[in-house]
Amino acid sequence: MKKRLCLLLCCLLALCPALSRPPALAAGEDAPSAIRVLLRRLSMKERADLTFTGTYLARSASGTELLLASGTKAAVLLENGSLILHAGGVSADMGKSLSLLRQSSGETTPGIHFNLQPGFYPGDLLLTAGEDGISPVLTLPLETYLKGVVPYEMGDGFPEEALKAQAVCARTYALSHLNPKNAWDVVDTTNDQVFRGLSQSSPKSESAVDTTAGLVLQCEGKLITAWYSASNGGQTELPANVWPGEAPRCFEMKDDPWDAANPDATVRTCTVNRDASGLSPAFVKLLRQALLRDPLQAERVPDEADFRVGKILALELEEPRFPAPSRLMTRLKVTFESSGLPPAPAPSGAPEDEEELDIQELLSALPHTVTLDLFPEAVIALGLSVSGANNEIVSVREEEDAFVLTAGRFGHGVGLSQRGAQQMAREGEKNFREILAFYYPGASLEEYAAKPGPLPTPPPLLAGDPGPAPTATPKPTLMPVTGELPEGARLARVANISRDSSLNLRSQPSAGAEVLLRLYFGQPLVVLEQADVPGWVRVKTDAAEGFVMESFLVYEDAAPAAAAPAA
C-alpha cells in the first residue's frame, strides 16, 4: 500500500508574484516580467509525467512541500479529485493543486520536460485538479516565452527581418493579454499563440527575440492587440469584421501584394472546364438543388442520377461581405446549359406538331442562371476551402477553355500576414520596421523595461517514505486495421504531421466539419475512396470511419496517390 507523505514547512515566497499592472502599458513604462501559459496542447487528463532540470520545490495549497533534485522523474496522477505526486521514491497527496517552483541552486536554467513531448519548459508549473482533468499553467519570463513562440509561429526558415517582425507582434500580443484576474494569460495553441517550449534548433528565431528585446507596438500611448495570421489572401481585414465591436485602432483594409505574390502561401485552385468535363459531383448537386428552388424550373428538374450539366457559360463572384474595398465575396453566379432538362410541356390544347416541339426543345436549351452561396457549400464542393473558416478570398480568371478559381487566406487576415512578411523580407527588400509599418499603419514602435526577479533559495532536502516508482505514459495507442482490404481500397498511414501532433478525422470532407477522432502519427488507415471534394478521401480503421485530407497520408503500396489541391 502506498504511504502518503505530508510534510509541513515554513512558507516560501512564490517565484512569480501576481501580476498587478493593467494590460495597456504607456510608453517607457515597466512591464510585468512573467506570463502564465495554459498548456492546453499537452492534453493532460488523468496523468502528467515530468523530468526536472534543476532543483524544484513541490508545494500543495495546504503547505505540504517536497524538494525535487535535478534529474528527478515524477508522475502526477489525478485520483478521486486529488493530485497524487510520485517522485524520488515518495508518494504525497497534494490535494486540489500542486505548485512546482524553480529554486536557485547554481545549476543550469531550471525547467521541465514532459515525457514523450519535445520542448523544454523553463518555468514554474501549477497543476490544478478540475472537472476536465489536470489543468497545467506554466509561469515563465516573458522573453523566454517568446523564444518558444516565434519558432512555431514562423520558424528559422523565414528571413531574419520577418522573424523580428513576428517577435515584436508576439511580445505585444502577449503583453496585451496579461490579466491578473484570470487563472492564466494565454493558451499555447492558435487560440492565442503557439508555444511548445524551447528547442535547440531555432537560433535565428531566438536571435530575433533578443535583437528586438523590449520593442512593442503602441497606438495613442497604449498597447495594441497585435493580431496576425498565416495569410490574408491578398487583402488585410479589419478587426471589427472578425470581432464585432473592436475598434480599428491602427488597422486598415487594403490590398497586400506581398501575400498574394508569395508562392509559399496556402491557396486552393479549381479549374472549371467550359465543356463541364471533370465537374465534381458535389458541385453538380449544388447546381441541381439551386434549380429545384426555382418554382419555374422545379417540376422539370430530373432525378439526380439523370441530371447533366452540358456547358459552363459564365462564373461570376458577387456580394462582398463587407463594404468596399472588401474583396471577400459571398456568392457565385453560374450560367450553364443542362442536357438533363426535358422540354417544357406544350400549353393545354396546343397542337403538338413537329415545329412546335422543335421550339420547345430550343427553349429548353436556353442557359440557366443560378446563384450559390460560396460559404460553405460552394467552396467545399469546388475544393477551395483553405482552413474551414469560411472567409477565403476567391477570385475567378477566365481562360479560353475554362474558368480558374483561386482561394486564399489562412486565418482571420487581421494585422501582420506571416506569408506577406516573409515575401517582404526576401532578398532584403524590407526590414522589420517597414513590415510592421505596412501592417499596423497607425502604430509606433516603443520600448518597455522588464527584469525577472531572482529565484528563491531552496530549503534543506526533504526525505520521505518510499513509494512506487513512476513510469512514463505510453505513446498513444494506434487503432488496429485488420481483415482483407475491400475491392479498390488501399492501405496508408498518417505520416505528414509532426510526431507530437495529430490529424483530425472528420464527419464530412471539409475542414469545418465535425471532428470525430484525432489520428496520431503512424496510424494505419484503409483508404476506401476519393471523396466528392477534391483532396479528401474516405478512410476507416476497425473502430472508426470518416474523412481526412489525402496530403497527410503516405500509401503503403507503390501506386501513385491522387493529387492534393494546390498549396
> What whole-number distance in Å separates Cα of residue 336 and Cα of residue 30?
64
- Nearest-10 crossing angle of helices 432-439, 418-425: 140
pLDDT at 196: 94
CB within 8 A of 560, min separation 6: which ones? Answer: none
Q: Where in 204-266 does DSSP place strands (E)?
A: 215-219, 222-223, 228-229
Taking residues 516-539, what's their average pLDDT?
Answer: 89
Could you tell me where in the chain the CATH 2.30.30.40 domains are found? Answer: 490-555
Least confident of 18-27, 46-55, 63-72, 535-544: 18-27
Q: 228-229 and 416-417 as β-strands: parallel, antiparallel, unpaired?
A: parallel
Instruction: Output the CA angle 305-310-312, nearest 5 degrees.
Output: 120
**Mean per-residue pLDDT, 400-427:** 96
Q: What is the pLDDT of residue 556?
A: 87
- What is the rounded distance in angstroms from the CA atom of residue 61 to the CA atom of residue 48? 18
- 420-440 residue pLDDT tens: 999 999 978 899 999 999 999
136 vs 57, 87, 126, CA distance in Å?
Answer: 16, 18, 6
Cβ contact 401:418 at 8 Å: no
Average pLDDT, the chain: 84
pLDDT digits (tens, 9 = 90+) for 1-17: 333 333 323 332 232 33
384, pLDDT greater than 90: yes
Please check the confidence at residue 343 and state whether its pLDDT lies above 60.
no
pLDDT at 131: 85
pLDDT class of 516 with cuts at 50, 70, 90: confident
Return the biggest CA–CA distance within the chain.
109
Say what the pLDDT of residue 105 is. 67
pLDDT in tens, 287-334: 999 999 988 888 888 888 889 999 999 999 999 999 999 999 999 999
- Which of 154-158, 303-307, 446-450, 519-523 has the largest mean confidence? 154-158
Instruction: Report whether 535 contacts 280 (CB < 8 A).
Output: no
Confidence check: pLDDT of 453 > 60: no
Residue 475 predicted with pLDDT over 60: no
Q: What is the pLDDT of residues 104-144, one digit of tens each?
A: 866 678 999 998 788 999 999 999 998 889 999 999 999 99
Q: How far apart are CA 225 and CA 238, in angstroms?
A: 13
pLDDT in tens, 233-289: 999 999 999 998 887 779 999 999 999 999 999 999 999 999 999 999 999 999 999
pLDDT of residue 472: 42
Among the residue ranges 102-111, 138-147, 534-543, the one predicted with the least confidence is: 102-111
Spatial contact of 64 and 98, defined as CB atoms under 8 Å apart: no
What would the mean pLDDT of 22-46 be, rounded to a whole number? 69
pLDDT tier, 466 (very low <50, low <70, confident <90, very high otherwise): very low
75-87 pLDDT tens trace: 999 998 999 999 8
Per-residue pLDDT band at 184 (split at 50, 70, 90): very high
Predicted local distance difference test score (pLDDT) of residue 63: 86
3-state secondary structure of 449: strand
CATH hierarchy code of domain 490-555: 2.30.30.40
Whether pLDDT at 220 is above 80: yes
